[in-house]
Amino acid sequence: METTSNQCCHSTSTQVSTSSDAPAEAHTGACCGGEAPETQHGYTSNKEAHLKRLRRIEGQVRGIARMVDEDKYCIDILTQVAAVSKALHAVSLNLLEEHIGHCVTGAAVESERTGDPTIAEAKVKEATAAISRLMRS
């Protein structure tokens, strides 16, 4: 098990990882994972659009389950599975873009303000790992 300390754009986070593929993070502070009421994540401005899209995907998944239950043709089911996968991929890319635009750039500003390059380096490393996971999926 590996424990590292990451700087969020306005706070410190502790990362506990049992493998490099699936880190579990416990954030503290006001940004990018903080639990404080003033938390503002990169996706906050588009939260309703994301939720609407995720609810639509949820409905598609329920439709796929119904197709299986009703013994529909397997190619038709696979077509719907591909559509859901593509929709989830689009959501993940939007969230990643917002993370980079908010959290990573915020960490760069904080790095510059404090003179501590490890703040930005940690966020870039975190984003790179997320991109790597997305590419494998």
Fold classified for 42-136: Methane Monooxygenase Hydroxylase; Chain G, domain 1 (1.20.58)
Torsion of Cα atoms, 126 then 132 then 136 then 137, to 10° = 40
Q: What would the pLDDT profile of 77-129 be if each residue is shown by its tens digit?
A: 999 999 999 999 999 999 999 999 999 999 999 999 999 999 999 999 999 99
- 14 pLDDT tier (thresholds 50, 70, 90): very low
This prediction has a pTM of 0.65
- E strand or H helix that includes residue 1: none
Sign of CA dihedral 78, 81, 87, 93: negative
**Domain residue ranges of the chain, discontinuous segments joined by +:** 42-136
